[in-house]
Amino acid sequence: MSATTENASALDSALGDYLAHLRVERGLSANTTTAYRRDLARYTAYLTTLGRTDLGAVGPADVGEYVTALREGSDGGRALSAASAARALAAVRGLHRFAQAEGLAVDDPSARVTAPSQHRRLPHALSVDAVARLLEAASAGDTPAALRDRALLELLYSTGGRISEVVGLDVDDVTHEDAVVRLLGKGSKERIVPVGSYARDAVDAYRVRARPVLVADGAGRSTPALFLNSRGARLSRQSAWAVLQRSAERAGLAEHVSPHTLRHSFATHLLSGGADVRVVQELLGHASVTTTQIYTMVTPDALREVYAAAHPRAL
């Protein structure tokens, strides 16, 4: 066995143990674990080219040079934005902290490496009018698919749920009487979110008039999933994306609209209406209020508007 193969084997073993730790002990979802695997496979491949035999042989300079390689693409991979490189560095830090805790390394060489600076951008949110047009466009016609699409988008906007959380709902997760929905978020953390009357009515119409048709079209397939595709199986995230894109095109929305756009709109509209930021944090399922506070940032245009309207000598 060559030295390079031995190096790769030791690093791959450490990586495998860390991913198992994330999945089993920390309860991270399959999607999140896959993202960690992708980021860290690039890192261990880079360490292998440096001749590092294991994580204990890695120094701060190695980690710092790797961050530079990520930004420039000099390791042979795609050059990353500052935000993506910072995310990759966070994964690297988790791996080294794990190695130190497990006795695979004496210290954490990533602790003193700073993440690339990045400009903090305001999340893109639709106006209330644009959201209304989008939701109306989803229900073009009275077909089972149209009823499903309207219910799906109404629920996304009403709850601020992630697309994976909403397509993962089962029928029993939404109750009209309690007017709440149980969403299973990152790390398998469950949260209870209120559902507005528009979304409740849309979901009820879908469940009564459309879902039984989709089940029947699926040759009697039995599934607890709330949102179904034309084959009677659970609607995928990709299909839900397509529903949103079609609706945005029909609504004539020029800007890019993604499922996260509805989540951003949910948070922005709540805060604009006077909701407390910590309440919005709970509704979004953010672990830290710092993540939610980005929605409270005021744009220069908004500052100018308020100044022009309020200052006696502004004009």
Q: Considering the chain, what percentage of its residues have pLDDT values greater than 90?
A: 51
CA–CA gap between residue 56 and residue 43 (Å, rounded): 14
CA neighbor of 143 nearest in space, from 262, 243, 249: 243
> So what's the pLDDT on residue 4?
46
pLDDT tens digits along 192-204: 899 999 999 999 9
Q: Is 187 left (phi over 0), alpha (psi -120 to 50) or beta?
A: left
CA neighbor of 130 nearest in space, from 248, 245, 305, 240: 248
Q: Which residue has the higher pLDDT, 142 or 239?
A: 239
The residues carrying an active-site annotation are 162, 186, 260, 263, 286, 295
pLDDT tens digits along 208-247: 999 999 988 765 567 899 999 988 999 999 999 999 999 9
What is this structure's pTM? Answer: 0.62
Tell me the chain's radius of gyration from C-alpha atoms: 24
